[in-house]
Amino acid sequence: MMTLCPCGSIHDYEVCCGPIIAGTPAPTVEALVRSRYTAFVKCALDHVERTHAPEVRDDFNRADAERVTQQYEWRGLEIRRVTETGDTAKVEFVVRFRREQQELSTISVSGFRRDHGQWLYVNTESSQIAPQRVTKIGRNDPCSCGSGKKAKKCCGVALEVK
């Protein structure tokens, strides 16, 4: 049975982020970002910690990460821009999630480095919660979370229809 990968690709988890989370080096920096997002969705925090560069690994707060994985309902990842220069890269991405009945998203720009063929997270240069636009979404309109599904079959399921 095929299970779509939470990272937003159209690929099966077992051929997309699954092998990377299991320990196979990410072939690209984008694949690493996608696998780290998926690791949060699946609470596979060993992967997140393992893919921190050595100099920032001690900054990883596992208790906070576990809290985040439990409190957030993950809604999607959008890679906006990847800038790769040799063995360094910057990735701008948006993470959508639901917390305390609110649809939220963060826009981040993170830095990465390739050491001995393995991409590692180095830092987050900027991160902000994106302002939420209030728009009326009809039941048959695409869902605002970016899933591509109709609102009534996605986030609208939790809403009471009057």
Distance CA 59, CA 56 (A): 5
Dihedral sign for Cα atoms in the order 32, 29, 8, 108: positive
**Domains delineated in the chain:** 18-131 (3.10.450.50)
Residue at 70: amino acid letter: Q
pLDDT of residue 131: 57
pLDDT of residue 100: 85
- The model's pTM is 0.79
Tell me the per-residue pLDDT of 118-146, one tens digit each, with 9 for 90 and over. Answer: 999 999 987 777 655 545 666 677 766 55
Tell me the per-residue pLDDT of 10-26, one tens digit each, with 9 for 90 and over. Answer: 899 999 999 999 999 99
**Residue recorded with tokens 């039941």:** 139
Dihedral sign for Cα atoms in the order 29, 120, 79, 35: positive
Distance CA 48, CA 120 (A): 10
Mean pLDDT of all residues in 38-61:
96
CB atoms within 10 A of CB 104: 15
